[in-house]
Each structure stands twice: as C-alpha cells, then as structure tokens.
Amino acid sequence: MRSSIGCVLLVLSAASFAEAQNDRYLLLATERTSTMQQEINAAAARGFRVVAASPKESSEVVVLLEHAKDSYEYRLVATTRTATLQREISDAAEAGYRIVPRAVTGKGDEVLVLMEKGAEAPANVQYQVLATERTGTLQKEISEASANGYTLTALAGRSEYVAILEKGVR
C-alpha cells in the first residue's frame, strides 16, 4: 500500500514538473531591476521570450514571457535621466538589441526598457528619446521626429511623458 502511494506521488510530482516545464507562459515579478535582469536571462536560457512588462505598484514590475522557438538575449535599461536612457538604449542598439515595444514601462521615477537580441542578423536602428511634461510639446516633438523618419516604438509615463522612437539605418 505504501509503495503504491509512493508511486502515485512520484508520478504526480513528475507530471507537475513536466507541466511546469511545458507551460506556454512564465510570469516574473520583482522590485529590483538587477534581479529582474538575472531572472529574464535565466528564463531566456530556458527558451522564453519577453512579451510584455507592466508595473504592479510603484515598487514592483511584472514581466510576461512566452516559450519561443528561437533563442534571445536581453538587456534591461532602467534610469531616471533622459540623457542616460538615450545613451544606454543607443549603446544596446549598436550591440544588436532592439526594444520590445510592450515591455517599456515606468517604475516610480524610472523608465524601464527591455531590449532583445535574437539569433537572426539584427537590423540597424537608431532610437530617439523624447521627454516632456506637456502633451502639446510631446505632440510637436513626435511629429518632428516622424518627419525625420522615426516611428513611435513605446510610450511610458513617470513624472513626465517619455516617448521612444525608432528609425532604421543603413
């Protein structure tokens, strides 16, 4: 009788483990951006790809990942300064990373931008970061950037509106 119960528990445990390994989605949540970077990279190593990110509260960010056929690498950019955000996403773009549009969010005064690099040859892109408190100014700046070949990639909020635009380069 005991061996039967032990076998049933072992089979159920193995089935639960297999089910967890076969889940289509994985949800990560943390308050620390350094922890999130590590968890995303670990999930990517297990075959997951970032789908979206969202703040739960001002101190926590939730990231949804999905099983993918290809492999991806991730870089998380988190900063409170617009100039730093511009520099860090430009550096990441030069290294072959592109912004995941639904994974740009605010966390308190910080803007968090998840960028991914796939196995395929990365497209050469440039990013422009716009930040302002006034919607009229944001409209004007987005229109000007659009006239220069940029398209809106992401919009996030913090103490001001932050728009990130992308342009393909040769």
Asked whether 104 and 144 are in contact (CB, 8 A), the reply is no
* pLDDT tens per residue across all 170 residues of the chain: 544 444 433 333 333 333 445 689 999 998 888 899 999 999 999 999 999 999 876 678 999 999 999 999 999 999 999 999 999 999 999 999 999 999 999 888 889 999 999 877 667 899 999 999 999 999 999 999 999 999 999 999 878 899 999 999 87
129 beta partners? 164
The encoded tokens of residue 131 equal 């930040």
Q: What is the DSSP letter of 31?
A: S
Provide the 3-class DSSP secondary structure of residue 84: helix
Residue pair 161/138 in contact (Cβ under 8 Å)? The answer is: yes
> Model-level pTM?
0.82
First to last CA, the chain: 71
